[in-house]
Amino acid sequence: MRIVLILIIAGCLSQLVSAQPLYKDLKESGLIGHVKSVIEYTYYGKTNADKVNMDQTPSKTIMNFDQNGRKVDETRLTYQGILMGKFTFDYSDPKRIVINEYQDEGKLTKRYAFKYDNSGRIAAFYQYYPKIDSPIFSILYKYDDKNNLIEDSSYVAGKHLVSKNKFLYNERNQKIEADIYSPPERSMNKIHYKYSQNGALAGQNNEFEESALVKNNDSTEYSNPDKYGNFQSGLYINRSSLLGQEMVGKKVLKRVIVYYP
């Protein structure tokens, strides 16, 4: 039974990671201004290569927003144009956002739901599989007196705690650090965020717990901001080593942002 539970937990976590990040609006996406759509292109470099080949065909993510800044849909495509996932957002219930994930020519593969409390804050997140009424994965959220999210706890099958995240903010209520606990009693890595003067996301750095055998660190720097301060380019670098063998991976991000008139 214990082995079965471990396999279920691993499967749920891998499925959840594949669907992240499920940002629902402009603020969560780190965007400023009356954004209508974003197309993000990702170019992947070869391991230990000095530069990323920008002549390759990139993977692509397309995000559309309504006039209120809420995400309407998101489509993720491989460099070959193969659909990795299409997400649609349903806001018909003011206290519950439902997200449907489709693959394979319109086949519904997963459903997600964000439940809101009476203060308009996200109280819980649930992940479902089609034809299964009970959530297989859930996250519960805690806030400070300024309505900043300070902690979330992830559960499998509603009762098995598998991870916990804690968040810190600066005086402008901008998230500056995320401390990731997985398993929930052990801090595995910290993510540090930085912002431009106008409040747009400018970069982040992920520090993983190091051991004698494994070292890992990744960072993202954003550049070329448009007139609203939203970045149009980004460079992601991952540095890792296993048993002394160092590896560096890079990818370049390019964004095309369209605004409402």
Q: What is the mean pLDDT of each run of 10 residues along the chain (261 residues)?
A: 42 43 75 96 95 96 96 95 94 94 87 93 93 89 95 89 94 93 82 89 85 80 94 94 87 97 95
The reply to whether the predicted model has a pTM over 0.85 is no
Residue with tokens 């109280």: 123
CATH architecture of the domain covering 2-259: Beta Barrel (2.40)
Contact partners, residue 150, CB within 8 Å, separation at least 6:
142, 143, 144, 166, 167
What residue spans define the domains of the chain? 2-259
pLDDT in tens, 50-81: 999 999 999 999 999 999 999 999 999 999 99
Q: At 260, which helix (H) or strand (E)?
A: none
238 with 207: CB under 8 angstroms?
no
Q: Are 97 and 89 in contact (CB under 8 A)?
A: yes
